[in-house]
Structures are given as structure tokens and as C-alpha cells.
């Protein structure tokens, strides 16, 4: 158990982190990576792209949570997934080009891969549910 910010609230240390929290933490980690990038031409260019793509994933997820329809939900998740894939590319490039030491990026690249799997699963599941609903409506209307 631990207390939160000295307010006396207690939460278990093994509380599951939901996707919202993981995406927010991912954005924070991206900011920290970007802040430590070299101030070279390549470092600045890669940092700009990584900052843009890596911090908007959570925003797209938040938009998806307020979607007006299942189609809108899937679309917003897919845009977030696209940005997540792009940020993963910039992280791998940062590592491969030694803009930062690869060992510093291993954990965030792994988290990026896990988040991609989670968002991909959410998209596939939601699309599958939509197809089932459409099939049931067609079958029930005969």
C-alpha cells in the first residue's frame, strides 16, 4: 500500500494500470526522452517528430472514449494507433542512430510495442463486435 500525494488516500501497489494511465505515462516518458536528445540538426528533427507523434496518442484515446458512435470510436483508436507506430519508429531510429544510448530506450520501446498490441486488440475487438451486431440485425430482420 502507498499513500497518494500526502492526502491520506491509499491505493494498493499492485493496482492494475489502465490504458489511459499507461498512455499518459508514455507521453511523459516521450517528453523526457525528447528533452535529453542532442541539440544537433538530426537530434532536433527526430525530437520534434517524436514529441508530436508520441504525445498525441493518449489524446486520441481520450477522444475515442467520447466517440459518438462505434465507427467514430474505431476511427479515433486507429488514428492513435497510427501515431503510436510512428513514435515507435522514431524511438527505434533514435536508438539505431545512437542519438541516445540504446539501453536508455529499451524499456520505452517495449512499452510502445505493448501499447500497440493493446490498441490493435481494442480496434479488432470493436470491429468484430460491430460485424456481429450487423449480422444479427440482418438475420433477425428476415
pLDDT greater than 80 at residue 5: no
Q: Which residue from 79, 64, 38, 32 is spatially nearest to 51, judged by alpha carbons?
A: 32
User: Is residue 53 a contact partner of residue 90, using CB atoms and an 8 Å limit?
Assistant: yes
Does domain 19-136 fall under CATH 1.20.1440.60? My reply is yes
101 falls in which pLDDT band (50, 70, 90)?
very high
Q: Rounded CA gap, 102 and 130, in Å? A: 41
Rg (CA), the chain: 19
Give domain limits for the chain.
Answer: 19-136
38-75 tens-digit pLDDT: 999 999 999 999 999 999 999 999 999 999 999 999 99
Amino acid at each position: 500500500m502507498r499513500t497518494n500525494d500526502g492526502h491520506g488516500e491509499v491505493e494498493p501497489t499492485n493496482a492494475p494500470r489502465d490504458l489511459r494511465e499507461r498512455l499518459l505515462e508514455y507521453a511523459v516518458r516521450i517528453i523526457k526522452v525528447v528533452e535529453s536528445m542532442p541539440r544537433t540538426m538530426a537530434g532536433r528533427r527526430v525530437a520534434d517528430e517524436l514529441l508530436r507523434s508520441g504525445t498525441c496518442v493518449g489524446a486520441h484515446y481520450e477522444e475515442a472514449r467520447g466517440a459518438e458512435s462505434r465507427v467514430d470510436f474505431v476511427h479515433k483508436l486507429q488514428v492513435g494507433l497510427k501515431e503510436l507506430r510512428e513514435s515507435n519508429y522514431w524511438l527505434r531510429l533514435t536508438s539505431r542512430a545512437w542519438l541516445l544510448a540504446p539501453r536508455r530506450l529499451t524499456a520505452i520501446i517495449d512499452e510502445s510495442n505493448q501499447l500497440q498490441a493493446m490498441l490493435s486488440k481494442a480496434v479488432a475487438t470493436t470491429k468484430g463486435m460491430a460485424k456481429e451486431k450487423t449480422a444479427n440485425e440482418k438475420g433477425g430482420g428476415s
